Chains A and B, each alone.
Chain A
Amino acid sequence: MLPKWLRRTPLAWRQLLKEKTRLLVALAGIGFADMLIFVQLGLLDSLFDSATKSHQNLQADLVLINPQFQTLFYVKNFPRERLLQTLSYDGVVSVRSLYVDTAQWRSPETLLNRGILVWGIDPANPAFNFPEVNPYLDQLKQLDRVLFDRASRPEYGPIADLLQQGPLTAQVNDQTVQTIGLFTLGASFGADGNIITSDSTFLKLFPQRQPNQINVGLIQLQPGVDPQAVQAQLQAGLPNDVNVLTPEEFAQIEINYWESGGIGFIFGLGVVVGFIVGIVIVYQILYSDVSDHLPEYATLKAMGYSDRYLLTVLMQEALLLAALGFIPGFLLSLGLYQITYMATLLPIAMKLERAAFVLLLTIIMCSVSGAIAMRKLQSADPADVF
């Protein structure tokens, strides 16, 4: 036997369905607002994601870095000696070093120079764990060999296509190098493109850099050792010209840096605008629904329906709109994410938490509108019906 509320005539549903055009306009409006919110949140997420993509691919349990570190794209160096000192601490198994700097890459097509991020790794002990890089490690040991990030912006030239015809000669910082393969990292705030070289090639490309001054130190710990304990010991034991960070802290500092630039605020504003647009649209729809049906609501009151029952109907209408409007908003956003990716090469994934968050916002949006429209409903006076 059906529960009582299911046996009742679904007034909210009937009322929405009766005015199909109005329903469609409402759903389009809510979908549009949701889409706005989805795109803002997605872009923000993806920007932060790409800004920390390199951080996430480092093989490290703890990271050693210059204390002034704010972003990996302009990071100061520190003495390699500090990294070697950590080896004498309990729990530390091995260390790796990484050089980072910006070079000028000349596009083989347009012959124009453009800044590109160069990562100098030790081929015998690579800092990154990119499976794509491993087959090239031996070849990288030779001087003037680089790997190119296929997810770099297209302004660097059609490198991936050209590589199919064999190794490609390129100009980096006015020196000739051989591009021998591809890997995937992606463009971000700080870098439009990336290349990986060996540490020796790196030092040759940047003659002013000292070999014993590195940018990032990566520390590998014994399995089962508490990273926080080792971190505390290292921080206490080492001179304070270096900072010891967990990979999470490392990535968080990077995110904070970009957030402080107002990016979070700008995208947040977009979300708020979407939210308000949604409220206005849903309110308009609910208000005109109530106004149009005011005598009918008054009749229901005259028949003995309570105010509470009618308010419930209005809230149901609001929630139905929320649920139905969310679906086109969600689907449209998936498409827009794809378009954004093709335009900017920023991969935006639909995340479950984001979808849940936007659904929640939509429900709040519709409830607020419903609550405002209720005031009109209460003015339905059964004494005016006769």
Chain B
Amino acid sequence: MQPPVISIHKLNHYFGEGTLRKQVLFNINLEIQAGEIVIMTGPSGSGKTTLLTLMGGLRSAQEGSLKILNQEMCGANKRQLIEIRRNVGYIFQAHNLMTFLTAKQNVRMSLELHDEMINQDLDAKAIAMLKAVGLGDRVDYYPEKLSGGQKQRVAIARALISYPKIVLADEPTAALDKKSGRDVVEIMQKLVKEQGSTILLVTHDNRILDIADRILYMEDGCLVDKQLV
């Protein structure tokens, strides 16, 4: 069996310094295998986003062990963090597209990170990806001319186009209505299955729990694993 793509042991995390120091993650243990779709829920302020940013290399891990794609993130240097970021696809709650780039150019930015791709036809790839998320007729639109669901789909295209081994998504449907939220999740599920990626999705939305292979529950900085039947 392959080693897990995410492997966490006795991870603790603190915010603040000195007397203001406050622990937000307590003794997290978690393994996620390649190809799994995992959903994480839990009350607000329980530490879900914190855990996700640690996994994505956006924050430095402090205590314990956090291995992403076999790279130990605890004590990793800036270069190693950047390297991990390039191998993880992010879908942000607020889509954070570049307002001065069109949908196509936004998606391209993700490909341009990889030097080995730069000589391929990036535009064609970006357009194909936008078609896959149902935006074939919006490739040259600026984000301000797209609806919330359309923007979120551009963000998904951007996160998935470079075939990341891990996709991290933080409440990707929070800003969407029921129908478009469902659409977005189904597109993600389909693309991830095609690409064989692993996905970890944070959500408060009960209506999408059914796409998960496994559901995690976070409460007060502790992780509770609930196996799905």
Contacts and interface: CB of A to CB of B under 8 A. Distances in A.
A113 B53 CA distance: 86
Contacts of A1: 119
Nearest to B87: A304
A89 interface: no
A295 interface: yes
Interface in B104-120: 105, 108-110, 112-113, 115, 118-119
A9 B52 contact: no
A248 interface: no
Contact of B58 (A8, A15, A300, A382): A382
A293 B100 contact: yes
Contact of A303 (B83, B100, B110, B115): B110
B86 A386 contact: no
A210 B100 CA distance: 80
Contacts of B97: 296
Contacts of B100: 14-15, 17-19, 293
A15 B101 CA distance: 8
B56 interface: yes
B23 interface: no
A4 interface: yes
A8 B52 contact: no
Contact of B82 (A4, A18, A293, A304): A304
Nearest to B155: A299
A163 to B, nearest CB: 65
B105 A14 contact: yes
A246 to B, nearest CB: 60
B58 A386 contact: yes
B49 interface: yes
A132 to B, nearest CB: 60
Contact of A9 (B85, B94, B99, B108): B108
A18 B108 CA distance: 18
Contacts of B108: 9
A343 B119 CA distance: 59
Given A302-B85, A383-B53, A386-B49, A8 B118 contact: yes
A385 interface: yes
Contact of A304 (B85, B96, B122): B85
A19 B98 CA distance: 13
A305 interface: yes
Contacts of A165: none
Contacts of B119: 1, 4, 7
Contact of A383 (B59, B92, B118): B59
Contacts of B99: 18, 293, 296
Contacts of A299: 92, 96, 98
Contacts of A383: 53, 58-59
A4 B101 contact: no
Nearest to B142: A18
Given A302-B56, A304-B82, A295 B118 contact: no
Given A296-B96, A383-B53, A385-B96, A14 B115 contact: no
Nearest to B106: A9
Given A4-B118, A8-B118, A302-B85, A386 B93 contact: yes
A88 interface: no
A8 B114 CA distance: 11
Nearest to B117: A7
B53 A9 contact: no
B77 to A, nearest CB: 13
B117 to A, nearest CB: 10
A386 B174 CA distance: 13
Contacts of A260: none
Interface in A288-334: 293, 295-296, 298-306
B85 A300 contact: no
Interface string A12-33: 0011011100000000000000
B143 to A, nearest CB: 10
A383 B49 CA distance: 10
A303 B113 contact: yes
Contacts of B158: 303
A296 B85 contact: no
B93 to A, nearest CB: 7
B157 to A, nearest CB: 13
A386 B92 contact: yes
Give the most central of B87, B100, B105, B118: most A CB within 10 Å: B100
Given A7-B118, A9-B105, A14-B105, A304 B113 contact: yes
Contacts of A14: 98, 100-101, 105
A214 B172 CA distance: 94
A8 B112 contact: yes
Given A9-B101, A303-B90, A305-B113, 14 more contacts: A7-B122, A14-B98, A17-B100, A293-B100, A299-B98, A300-B109, A301-B85, A302-B58, A302-B90, A306-B82, A382-B58, A383-B59, A385-B58, A386-B52
27 contacts: A1-B119, A4-B118, A7-B118, A9-B101, A9-B109, A9-B112, A14-B101, A14-B105, A15-B100, A17-B100, A18-B100, A19-B100, A293-B98, A293-B99, A293-B100, A295-B96, A296-B96, A296-B97, A296-B98, A300-B109, A303-B158, A304-B83, A304-B87, A382-B85, A385-B58, A385-B92, A386-B53
Interface of B: 49, 52-53, 56, 58-59, 82-83, 85-87, 90, 92-94, 96-101, 105, 108-110, 112-113, 115, 118-119, 122, 142, 158, 170
8 cross-chain pairs, A with B, having the tightest CB-CB distances, nearest first: A304-B86, A18-B100, A304-B85, A299-B96, A383-B58, A382-B58, A15-B100, A383-B59
